[in-house]
Structure 1
Amino acid sequence: MSLASERLPESIVRTAIEWQMRLRVDAGSAEVQRQLQDWLRRDTRHQLAWQRLQQVGGLFQASQLPDAEHSIPLLQRAETDLSRRRTLKLLGLGLAAGSATLLATQTPHAWHADFATTTGERRRVGLGDDAEVQLNTSSAVDVQGDELLLRAGEVLVDGAQWRVRCRFAECEGHQARVLLRERDGYSEIRVERGEALVSAGGGQRWLRAGEGLGVSATTMTALGKPPIDPFAWARGLLMVNDIRLADFLTEAGRYRQGWLGCDPAVAELRLSGVFRLAEPEVMLRNITHLLPVRVVERTRWWVRIVPVA
């Protein structure tokens, strides 16, 4: 597959869209331009996503899109390859309805997947008598015979006997509760209870409670304990322990629309606490009680944490 036709991960496409939003607010900021260039240099896929977004950007303007509150959900839910024909078709449907309502309840994968969630949504699905699956924000799964296919995002599978395929591996659980999350470049698998057999690239590895594994196209790497409780989201919580503020905001940003970031001056501040995912605005206010920071909200789609003046 050539680079020009590569299908980009949703996380990269969404980040490119968020940079576009940020530039609209701070077009003259040299610091924003520098940060954007740093992001573009880190990965050729970042550059490709940015190029495609600029290409369809002209078409959006010519189509007289509604205001940002309506057009940003359309952008965020366009196909991950940002196909011009597909995007125009979707925009036509959205504009014909007079708003973004038609697309506001769907993720890019929801148009094709058996089960899916939108940004900030979590969903529980029963899989017969033997297992159930919980989908985290912006996730999608297919049921294929007696196994699941994780198409995007993150799921927590719990049951006596089950099998899940993700991008780089296949995971089979035995009386197990296991998390699978698709990240840029690898699949993350963690066991909370029981044990699971992970198969990838001709190799196999057993995981037991408390263990984690990162599986890429070429490697299987043991994962240590992260600063974010990987299972807390299933209880509606974001639980962190001594995490960088910048990393916390990256995780919190998965559960809300728009761009959420911070000033470099506060990026390294450390944060611990328990936050409710159903209350994203309260979450941000609580940060100001824990750290010497304040929230700058230019629009509901652009929020930045900065030092207290």
Structure 2
Amino acid sequence: MSAAERLPESIVCTAIEWQMRLRGNAGSAELQRQLQAWLAQDELHQMAWQRLQQMAGLFQVKQLPAAGHAIPLLQRAEADLTRRRMLKLLGIGLTAGSATLLATAAPQAWRADFATATGESRRVSLDDGSQVLLNTGSALDMQGQALLLRAGEVLVEGAQWQVHCRFAECRGQQARVVLRERDGYSEIRVERGDVLVSTPAGQRWLQAGDGLGVSATAMTVLGKGPLDPFAWARGLLLVNDIRLADFLAEAGRYRQGWLGCDKAVADLRLSGVFRLDQPELMLRNISHLLPVAVVEHTRWWVRVVPVA
């Protein structure tokens, strides 16, 4: 293996850390910008990120656990690649000690009762008749008769149900609601029915059409935004006058790798209906709707730039 192909452990550790941070903060535009800056610093950063995504593809999993947990998980799944080949893919020769160095807590999606990988959705029918639909990259636990949203986004509907999210407890009555964990707050959107939102600071009733953002310190009424919060349950991404940078951050939740844009086109506005099961077609359509070009540096690193 040449020096150009060999990756320092410190860079691989950082790439894995980025993977974990993105998984815990899906949809964070600021985090995506920080990742882009790190990738642009050094070609070795790009190589480490690409190989991390390649590892997930080779093992036919949509999300890659931390290196220290990947080996036993894949062995139990009877993956046909050996530990040596897996580490060779990363371009480093790990000892037992360095494998321990890379190990971190297993991501929530691998420990939850119900979970989805990137680009996947999953429907769960509960004993009480309630229905739950998990969106991409989400994790949900059962806690007695209640649900605990650990990460991502879910749609819940039924006669009566109870969901705990990061900053609030929600009780629905004949309600259909989307709950999403965002960077620093929990978002609650009601399509029908009544929902009681409880926090240590107080309670609030929500009705059809209401939206609420709940953080550690406040409850904020959310107006209608550029993104339809219920369209994903129909397999669609429906946007109205959304910034291109924000659209790409949302679309990036449904595909592997990094998706971003040049600052020169970040504030362009976009409206339309896009199919979530066709992410590559979604990207091609952008170039027909806006004066931009989609540049694929690799399959896992896509950048939208101004038309030359």
> Same fold by TM-score, threshold 0.5 exceeded?
yes
Shift in Å, 1:90 = 2.4
Give the structure 2 partner of residue 10 of structure 1.
Answer: 23
TM-score in terms of structure 2 length: 0.74
Shift in Å, 1:108 = 2.5
Distance in 1 of aligned mates of 2:266 and 2:129: 44
Give the structure 2 partner of residue 77 of structure 1.
Answer: 64
TM-score in terms of structure 1 length: 0.74
Give the structure 1 partner of residue 81 of structure 2.
Answer: 98
Are 1:245 and 1:268, in contact at CA under 8 Å, matched by a contact in 2?
A: yes
SS, match of residue 191 in structure 1: strand
Distance in 2 of aligned mates of 1:67 and 1:162: 42
SS, match of residue 249 in structure 2: helix
CA RMSD between the two structures = 3.3
Are 2:191 and 2:208, in contact at CA under 8 Å, matched by a contact in 1?
A: yes
Letter aligned with residue 225 of structure 1: K
Letter aligned with residue 302 of structure 2: V
Shift in Å, 1:110 = 2.9
Distance in 2 of aligned mates of 1:123 and 1:227: 25
The alignment covers a number of residue pairs equal to 259
Give the structure 2 partner of residue 27 of structure 1.
Answer: 42
Structure 1 residue 256 corresponds to structure 2 residue 255: yes
| CA displacement 1:157-182 (0-9 Å, x = unmatched) | 00000000011000000000011100
- The 5 Å alignment of 1:287-298 reads 287-298=286-297
Are 1:18 and 1:258, in contact at CA under 8 Å, matched by a contact in 2?
A: no
Give the structure 1 partner of residue 147 of structure 2.
Answer: 148
Letter aligned with residue 262 of structure 1: C
SS, match of residue 166 in structure 2: coil
| CA displacement 1:97-132 (0-9 Å, x = unmatched) | 5289x9xxxx92232111100001011111125310
Which consecutive residues of structure 2, in runs of 5 or more, have no partner in the other structure?
Answer: 1-19, 87-105
Give the structure 2 partner of residue 307 of structure 1.
Answer: 306
| CA displacement 1:238-288 (0-9 Å, x = unmatched) | 000000000000000000110000111111100000000000000001111
Letter aligned with residue 254 of structure 1: R
Distance in 2 of aligned mates of 1:204 and 1:247: 31
Structure 1 residue 230 corresponds to structure 2 residue 217: no
Shift in Å, 1:71 = 3.5
Q: Relative contact order, CA 8 A, sep 6+: which one is greater?
A: 2
| CA displacement 1:64-99 (0-9 Å, x = unmatched) | x994542367996335xxxxxxx3342576597528
Which consecutive residues of structure 1, in runs of 5 or more, have no partner in the other structure?
Answer: 1-6, 29-53, 80-86
Are 1:229 and 1:240, in contact at CA under 8 Å, matched by a contact in 2?
A: yes
Per the alignment, do residues 19 and 98 of structure 1 end up closer, same or farther by CA in structure 2, a change over 3 Å counting? Answer: farther
Per the alignment, do residues 14 and 93 of structure 1 end up closer, same or farther by CA in structure 2, a change over 3 Å counting? Answer: farther
Letter aligned with residue 70 of structure 1: Q
| CA displacement 1:182-215 (0-9 Å, x = unmatched) | 0111110110011100000141000000001111
